[in-house]
Amino acid sequence: MNHQNPIEVSQQFVEIGQQLYTLVTKGSTIARQSQQGWYEFVARLLTDGTAFEGVQRPLTEAVALYNQHQSPTVTLETVQYYLVAKVVRAVKLEPEALANQWYFICDGTEIPNPGDFITVQIFQEPVVVIRQGDGSIQVFLNVCPHRQCLVFERNGCIKGGKSELCPYHGWAFSEDGHCTNAPGANRGELGEDFDLKDYSLRSFETRIDSNQGVFARLMANGDGDEPITTMPPADIQVNGQNIGVAIANLLQDVSPGYTEGIIPCLPEPIRLWIKIGYLGEQLKHLVAGIAQRQGLTPEAVLSSVNLDFNTEPDPNRDLLLESVMWELRQAILMVEAETISLKLEDIIEEVKHTQISDLCFGVEADGSSLSSSEATTDEPEQNRRIALPIWTYGDWDLFALEIKHLIAPTWQFVCHVNEIPQPHQYTWLDIVGERAYVIRTANGDLFAGKLKHIDGRQQGPDFEGPRDYGLDPIDIEVFYGFVFIRLLRQGPSLKEIWHQPGLLDPYKLEQMQPIGGSGQYDISVEVDYKLLWENFLEDYHFPMMHKGLTLRFGVSSDCEGINGMIIPMRDPASPKLNPVERKYYDCAKTLARHDWEREKELQRFAAEHQFLPETLCYSAFCSMAAQEEMPMPFSLSVFPEHVQTFSIVPGGPRESRFHVRSYGHRMPPNPAEAEVIKAAQLANIQLLAESLQEDIRVNYITQDSVSSQLFEKLGVFSIAEWDVAKFQEAVQMNIPVTSSPRKPPKLLNL
């Protein structure tokens, strides 16, 4: 960014973030009153902007000022749609609030032919309405019973008795909502007791009124005889669309980090400025509310917040307040310090001096939980594997527990030793509101410490001061040349928990150098880190989502998990490879030091001994910690020509960052050989980035799906998802409350 007037630009977007919190609170209140009012509110946000009230004018000015100093520019519509999506995603209605009401879905004329369907968003519930073969209409919860992804997207038609495939794993569903196929089920890979009939889409009672309005009752407590009293909001449209359809499409279009779609991703500086303003305003309301309830001053409430990992937390602490503090710290750390004058200390001081009379209290934004009548801590059935319930993905209260029990005690990847080879060179990692530095000391050792005060982030380590560089020392470990830190000193070393480290020995990873350019990147996504990591932990989704990768490598679903699984390239190459894929294949063949027979011998040897005597030439594998030992979102993807580190850095309940780095050996003196190696690296890095974008898209869809309060997850895993099951078991072991099917009213002491 051109830093002329960066402070003025950032301050305007911070103020917009503050007003966004007010919009979320207002929208939540309206949603609880009526579907009609909610639709009108969102329609105004999407069209004429009148619902923005005090936001619209400064938003226009802020975008114009940003575009004066930034290239590429951003459109007002992009920012506005992002804000509207934030409002929509923040609204949650408890199941009892949905009970015994008929909700307008669509007009019957919108799906005139058998097989026609459209997707609609009713508050946080994604639904799909389908015209059946006999002309009747059915409405379903549009969430796959397997791994809670949307099954139907936008609108379309199921023709000729065919099925719609879930975009995640390819489970098939007919127009009547029945599951017709689950890949691998016919081979017993989903268990002997698996029955397709148990995995139909949840259906809703549906009625058609005299004007062809389609209504559904999402939650029934009565006998179903209640009359339809809701007036169809058919006159509420956006761009000629039913407003419920427009909202569903909006959620698919607006996903920062995913660069395809109608609405492009938001520039990261704008997103972070808005986030800082939003979280600051949320903190202000939270503290004031607690102070009012407990008869305390805001200063007393803030002083009770303990963010020290090494001290015993208060069993009566407010988890939501703690979580907001962590995420606010993270947002401040991630934004460029020279573009914003606001400090955490400034926000805290403003919170301390806030008058309750100055605040507008409504429904608590982003902190809602199920009522005690719906909460349960039932013991899970002992005869089956229980998956993590969907409330655990993106929950603010739970995230505070995850920081203490999962994230802080887990090793986090920072860099390779050869990225900081000289004395006083350093790098850092921002994670859950902490900045962790790794420093090459004067005598060549490595030191790790975290920043004591995040407002001092511009100064960095103090090389003229004490031996600890003015930092709080933290754990550090070097593993095969890769540097990891740990915020809380407890638990095993990496050497104790790594799965089959012998596979890495011949690659001489310690000697590798960073590959710059496209080989290094970070992508921020507004998705729970657990969803992202579960996606990476299995290859069951490869045939449906990564068709190019499946063409290049012989992916198999008959092995127990992806950790350590050796995946060979297909030979001969598929004629369907695109030019980049073909380039990579040809380079790999040119660089090979042995034939396919030797490759197969090495694969058999590795399977038997968990060790490789030499590197592979036609195969790849993932290497990571045993998930049952430590649920650690980091993996090494090992290829013949380079390795790629892949880590997911948690930043908030729905805030994560992909931290991707590539490494390879120094180029050989032979120019021709060096050229082939470089071409192979660049081609593979490009293909891996494309696969990651495919993953990001489906994870945004899934994150929206897990907001549903009506979906009941059954918890079934294929053999190829075994590492996902191990990860989830580790989460449940460290935080037992995550085994509860519904969120309890209080998470502490459970």
Q: What is the pLDDT of residues 608-640, one digit of tens each?
A: 999 999 999 999 999 999 999 999 999 999 999
- pLDDT-derived band at 580 (thresholds 50, 70, 90) equals very high
- Name which residue leads in pLDDT, 377 or 643: 643
Q: What is the pLDDT of residues 6-56, one digit of tens each?
A: 678 889 999 999 999 999 999 999 999 888 899 999 998 988 766 676 777
pLDDT attached to residue 633: 95
At the second CATH level, the architecture of 102-229 is 3-layer Sandwich (2.102)
Q: Over pLDDT 90: what percentage of the chain?
A: 66
CB 67 within 8 A of CB 73: yes
At the second CATH level, the architecture of 414-487 is 3-layer Sandwich (2.102)
| Tokens describing residue 345 | 């200390």
Sequence-distant (≥ 6) Cβ neighbours of residue 69 within 8 angstroms: 1, 2, 3, 4, 5, 6, 9
Q: What three-state secondary structure class fits 638?
A: strand
Per domain, the residue ranges of the chain are: 6-94+260-358, 102-229, 382-409+494-750, 414-487
- State mean pLDDT over 711-732: 88
Residue by residue, DSSP assigns 56-87 as: HHHHHHHHHHHHHH-SS---HHHHHHHHHHHH
Single pTM value for the model: 0.92
- pLDDT-derived band at 374 (thresholds 50, 70, 90) equals very low
From the list 21, 29, 36, the residue with the least C-alpha distance to 92 is 29
CATH 1.10.600.10 fits 382-409+494-750, yes or no: no
Q: What is the pLDDT of residues 116-172, one digit of tens each?
A: 999 999 999 999 999 999 999 999 999 999 999 999 999 999 988 899 999 999 999
Residue by residue, DSSP assigns 152-201 as: S-SEEE--TT--EEPTTT--EE-TTS-EEE-TTGGGTTT-TT--GGGGPP
Straight-line distance from the first to the last Cα atom of the chain, in angstroms, rounded to the nearest whole number: 48
CB 705 within 8 A of CB 143: yes
From the list 327, 195, 193, the residue with the least C-alpha distance to 272 is 327
CB 484 within 8 A of CB 411: yes
From the list 430, 431, 410, the residue with the least C-alpha distance to 475 is 410
pLDDT attached to residue 373: 34
Do domains 102-229 and 382-409+494-750 share one topology? The answer is no
What whole-number distance in Å separates Cα of residue 669 and Cα of residue 28? 65
Question: Is residue 315 reached through a cis peptide bond, with omega within 30 degrees of 0 on the bond before it?
Answer: no
What whole-number distance in Å separates Cα of residue 624 and Cα of residue 635? 5
| Tokens describing residue 22 | 């007010």
Measure the CA dihedral 60/62/65/67, to 10°: -80
pLDDT attached to residue 513: 98
Q: Please compute Rg for the chain using Cα positions.
A: 26
CB 728 within 8 A of CB 175: no
Q: What is the pLDDT of residues 300-357, one digit of tens each?
A: 999 889 888 888 878 778 999 999 999 999 999 998 766 677 789 999 999 988 776 6
Q: How crowded is residue 220: how many other Cβ atoms within 10 Å of its Cβ?
A: 14
From the list 476, 419, 482, the residue with the least C-alpha distance to 646 is 482
Lowest pLDDT segment from 214-228, 492-506, 581-595, 681-695 = 214-228
pLDDT attached to residue 312: 81
- State mean pLDDT over 488-494: 92
Q: Mean of the per-residue pLDDT values for the chain?
A: 88
pLDDT attached to residue 372: 31
- Name which residue leads in pLDDT, 615 or 553: 615
What whole-number distance in Å separates Cα of residue 532 and Cα of residue 493? 24
Q: Which residues pair with 612 in a beta bridge?
A: none
From the list 397, 699, 676, the residue with the least C-alpha distance to 523 is 699
